[in-house]
Structure 1
Amino acid sequence: MAAFDDITKKAQAFLQDGKVQDALKSERAEGVSDKVLGGVADAVKKATGGKYDEKIDGARDAADKKLGNE
């Protein structure tokens, strides 16, 4: 578990970098994030048989607000 904590801390530090933040807010990142988040949401919906669609959509929307520029 310590290795996971170390990776998490490194990822958090990476995401704090100004250049990384600028890249995450770009037009290109918005398009990529929309595709990835949509694909993941669809896969999870299929795996759960539609039981949690509303929660999955909410999580996708919350993540989308943090990525890209919209």
Structure 2
Amino acid sequence: MDLLRSSTTTSHCPFKGDAVYWTVQAGDDVAEDVVWSYPEPFPKVEEIAGLLAFWPEKPGVTLEVNGQVV
């Protein structure tokens, strides 16, 4: 979470609700709005509340977990 900065970007999904976004900044490298979450999703999908989703398809973004690219 140390690399995430809150973004002003939001979106709305008719199935999940309102999403908020984060920008990743690692040194001089910045990837805008590549992480998002649904802090208060609709009741039918409440299990996704607070989970973070990543957008690795954005150019220049590689997601690593414990040193392995995922």
TM-score bucket of the superposed structures, by smaller chain: under 0.3
Give the number of the structure with larger relative contact order, counting CA–CA contacts within 8 Å between residues 6 or more apart. 1
**TM-score, structure 2 normalization:** 0.25
**TM-score, structure 1 normalization:** 0.25
- The structure carrying a bigger helix percent of its residues is 1
